[in-house]
């Protein structure tokens, strides 16, 4: 027979951050008596310092992630202004994603070894400096270098935000806060093309960075003045070989995926970096499996011993594939088939991002009350239905119908992201939170690159088939790309049934045998 010895951590002078993930405040009761969970404090009871930290990290992360997709609509203007080809211009996005994929796995080590304040200041300093370089860039080479520096800071911010939330927020209220994080992760990339379209309609392309720079510097200044240290760093050795293997493995995969659509124009055939990346990634996994026995892994893969985390990560990867594939193909359809200009295209994509922003906090509250299944199952079904709807677009499809399908797609994604982040990361013990955040960030980058590559490749191949006109061929390519995405989305529907709420969401009782 098990005896429960539940403890209210506040009575012992410690906080929830000291407890394993999934535990919550409960009252001390005599052995053999019925344990009574403590009342969950309302969300507003978070300490003022904790609210400040989370708010500052949310705002800063929104700004840095926004830049990941801000270049897409600007490519034609950049090609004309800098006298570069489309292949070269695409590197402004590819290099950003490539840098993210290389840096994010290292953040698990950084977040263990360093405290919150220096990590935040380093991330925002790098991002601000990269933005300044881009704003003042005299040519393509300098602009590309600035994008790489920007991406380095961006790669650190998201794992820092997630790890901090899991440390500060009790499990019973993590859904609500993760809802705000899902705004950052999903809405920021979605409205990037809109913002760049608005700026480019009246100003030079450098203003995309000039507008962002004061905001980034303000966040850096506020952080330098107000950001406290809220974690407890510990000695964590850095395995240099793991860093090299990680860079070659994840970098090779993202580069290979990003160059699939270039065909003969690619510097190297896509299969070469993909093959090298996959082989080196296998070596990286073997080395991490060995190092994690002594708690020395760069990216601890024991996170995948949790079935909930594993399934949440798989569904997240499929969902991000659909999101980024749509972000790159739908603007091409609107401009090349429907004949819209960049500004109109950006404005048409805006409502979807706004819908995600409005729904995310609501989804977080529903998660806290009911868990992930009631959100994930309908969410994945809605996303799949929207993608199947996009397979019907043609040269005569009314633009309002396209807008409706886009809004429905993003409504479905809003139901997905918060439960995946909260349930997946919440299922991990606290010592693996930083590694889990790094895994999630890495999967996002690889899945984003895969989605863009998959949709573009299928679209290109299908558009090459004989058609009545060039516009008809482009529409056929778009339909084929969305058909591929719709089939893949069925995997997310199946996986959504396997994501469960982490044990003990509303006051875990620690069992003693």
The sign of the torsion formed by the CA atoms of 10, 16, 19, 21 equals: positive
**Cα–Cα distances in angstroms (integers) from residue 130 to residues 62, 159, 199, 362, in the given order:** 16, 20, 19, 35
Q: Residue 62's pLDDT is what?
A: 87
Q: Residue 341's pLDDT is what?
A: 80
pLDDT reading at 391 higher than 60: yes
Q: Residue 45's pLDDT is what?
A: 52
pLDDT reading at 286 higher than 90: yes
What six digits make up the tokens of 74? 């600007």
Contacts with 226 (C-beta within 8 Å, 6 or more apart), sequence order: 52, 56
CA distance linking residue 239 with residue 247, whole number of Å: 13
pLDDT reading at 468 higher than 80: no
Range of the domain at 276: 46-504
pLDDT in tens, 176-189: 887 777 777 767 77
Name the DSSP class of 265.
Answer: G
Global pTM reads 0.74
Q: Residue 52's pLDDT is what?
A: 84
User: How many Cβ atoms are within 10 Å of 169's Cβ, its own excluded?
Assistant: 22
CA distance linking residue 132 with residue 62, whole number of Å: 18
pLDDT in tens, 340-368: 887 788 788 888 888 888 888 889 889 98
pLDDT band at 163 (very low <50, low <70, confident <90, very high): confident
pLDDT in tens, 37-65: 333 344 445 677 788 888 888 888 888 88
Query: Among the ranges 88-97, 354-363, 476-485, which has the highest mean pLDDT value?
Result: 476-485
Domain-located, residue 28 = no
Domain-located, residue 512 = no
Mean pLDDT of 225-238: 77
pLDDT band at 218 (very low <50, low <70, confident <90, very high): very high
- Mean pLDDT score across all residues of the chain: 80
Compare 452 and 278 and report the one with higher pLDDT. Answer: 278
CA dihedral 162→164→169→173, nearest 10 degrees, is: -10
pLDDT reading at 6 higher than 80: no
Domain-located, residue 72 = yes
CATH number of the domain within which 425 lies: 1.20.1250.20
Q: Residue 262's pLDDT is what?
A: 64
Mean pLDDT of 251-279: 79
pLDDT reading at 200 higher than 90: no
User: How many Cβ atoms are within 10 Å of 512's Cβ, its own excluded?
Assistant: 9
pLDDT in tens, 107-162: 878 887 888 889 999 999 999 999 999 999 999 999 999 999 999 999 898 888 88
Domain-located, residue 30 = no
pLDDT reading at 36 higher than 50: no
What six digits make up the tokens of 469? 């006109």
Domain-located, residue 405 = yes
Number of domains in the chain: 1
User: How many Cβ atoms are within 10 Å of 350's Cβ, its own excluded?
Assistant: 18
Q: Residue 15's pLDDT is what?
A: 38
The DSSP H or E segment spanning 176 is helix 174-182
Mean pLDDT of 481-488: 91
Q: Residue 181's pLDDT is what?
A: 78
Q: Residue 24's pLDDT is what?
A: 38
Domain-located, residue 347 = yes
Mean pLDDT of 272-301: 89
Q: Residue 315's pLDDT is what?
A: 92
- Picking from 114-123, 188-197, 323-332, 469-478, which range would have the lowest pLDDT averaged per residue? 188-197
The DSSP H or E segment spanning 511 is strand 511-512
pLDDT band at 383 (very low <50, low <70, confident <90, very high): very high
pLDDT band at 263 (very low <50, low <70, confident <90, very high): low
The DSSP H or E segment spanning 315 is helix 307-336
| 8 Å CB contact between 258 and 267 | no
pLDDT reading at 227 higher than 70: yes
Query: Among the ranges 21-35, 348-362, 425-439, 483-497, which has the highest mean pLDDT value?
Result: 483-497
pLDDT in tens, 205-214: 899 999 999 9
The residues with which 511 forms a beta bridge, in sequence order, are 4
- Picking from 156-160, 242-246, 414-418, 502-506, which range would have the lowest pLDDT averaged per residue? 502-506
pLDDT band at 12 (very low <50, low <70, confident <90, very high): very low
pLDDT band at 265 (very low <50, low <70, confident <90, very high): low
Query: Among the ranges 439-443, 491-495, 498-502, which has the highest mean pLDDT value?
Result: 491-495
pLDDT reading at 485 higher than 70: yes
| 8 Å CB contact between 35 and 27 | yes
Residue that is written with structure tokens 């079904």 in the block: 381
Mean pLDDT of 432-455: 83
- Picking from 238-242, 254-258, 261-265, 358-362, which range would have the lowest pLDDT averaged per residue? 261-265
Q: Residue 281's pLDDT is what?
A: 92
Q: Residue 121's pLDDT is what?
A: 93
pLDDT reading at 285 higher than 60: yes
Q: Report percent pLDDT > 70 for the chain.
A: 86
pLDDT band at 486 (very low <50, low <70, confident <90, very high): very high
Domain-located, residue 298 = yes
Q: Residue 282's pLDDT is what?
A: 94
Residue that is written with structure tokens 């580069």 in the block: 255
**Cα–Cα distances in angstroms (integers) from residue 422 to residues 71, 142, 361, 364, 414, in the given order:** 30, 39, 13, 9, 13
Mean pLDDT of 382-403: 93
Domain-located, residue 284 = yes
Compare 469 and 94 and report the one with higher pLDDT. Answer: 469
């Amino acid at each position: 027979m098990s005896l429960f010895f539940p403890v209210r951590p506040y009575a012992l002078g410690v906080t929830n951050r000291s407890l394993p993930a999934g535990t919550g405040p409960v009252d001390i009761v005599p052995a053999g008596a019925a344990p009574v969970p403590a009342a969950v404090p309302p969300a507003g009871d978070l300490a003022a310092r904790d609210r400040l930290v989370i708010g500052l990290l949310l705002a800063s992360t929104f700004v840095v992630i926004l830049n990941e997709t801000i270049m897409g609509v600007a490519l034609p203007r950049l090609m004309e202004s800098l006298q570069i080809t489309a292949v070269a211009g695409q590197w402004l996005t590819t290099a950003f994603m490539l840098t993210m994929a290389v840096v994010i796995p290292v953040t698990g080590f950084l977040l263990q070894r360093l405290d919150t304040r220096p990590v935040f200041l380093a991330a925002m300093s790098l991002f601000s400096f990269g933005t300044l370089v881009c704003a003042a860039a005299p040519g393509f080479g300098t602009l590309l270098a600035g994008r790489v520096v920007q991406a380095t800071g961006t790669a650190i911010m998201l794992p820092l935000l997630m790890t901090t939330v899991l440390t500060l927020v009790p499990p019973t209220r993590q859904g609500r806060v993760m809802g705000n994080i899902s705004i950052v992760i999903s809405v920021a990339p979605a409205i990037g093309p809109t913002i760049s379209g608005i700026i480019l309609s009246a100003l030079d392309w450098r203003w995309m960075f000039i507008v962002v720079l004061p905001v980034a510097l303000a966040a850096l200044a506020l952080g330098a003045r107000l950001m406290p240290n809220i974690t407890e760093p510990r000695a964590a050795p850095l395995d240099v070989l793991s860093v090299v293997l990680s860079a070659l493995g994840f970098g090779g995969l993202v580069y290979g995926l990003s160059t699939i659509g270039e065909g003969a124009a690619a510097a190297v055939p896509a299969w070469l970096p993909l093959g090298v990346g996959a082989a080196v990634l296998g070596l990286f996994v073997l080395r991490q499996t060995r190092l994690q026995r002594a708690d020395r892994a760069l990216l601890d893969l024991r996170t995948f011993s949790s079935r909930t985390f594993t399934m949440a990560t798989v569904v997240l990867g499929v969902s991000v594939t659909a999101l980024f594939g749509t972000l790159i193909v739908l603007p091409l359809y609107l401009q090349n088939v429907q004949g819209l200009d960049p500004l109109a295209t950006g404005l048409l994509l805006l409502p979807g991002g706004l819908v995600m922003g409005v729904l995310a906090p609501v989804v977080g509250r529903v998660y806290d009350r009911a868990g992930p299944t009631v959100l994930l199952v309908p969410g994945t079904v809605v996303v799949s239905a929207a993608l199947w709807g996009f397979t019907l677009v043609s040269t005569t499809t009314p633009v309002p119908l396209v807008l409706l399908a886009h809004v429905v797609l993003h409504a479905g994604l809003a139901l997905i992201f918060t439960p995946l982040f909260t349930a997946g990361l919440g299922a991990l013990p606290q010592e693996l939170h930083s590694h889990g955040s790094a895994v999630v960030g890495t999967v996002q980058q690889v899945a984003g690159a895969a989605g863009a590559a998959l949709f573009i490749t299928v679209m290109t191949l299908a558009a090459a088939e004989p058609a009545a006109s060039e516009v008809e061929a482009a529409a056929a390519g778009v339909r084929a790309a969305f058909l591929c995405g719709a089939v893949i989305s069925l995997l997310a529907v199946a996986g959504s049934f396997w994501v469960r709420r982490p044990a003990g969401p509303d006051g875990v009782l620690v069992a003693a045998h």
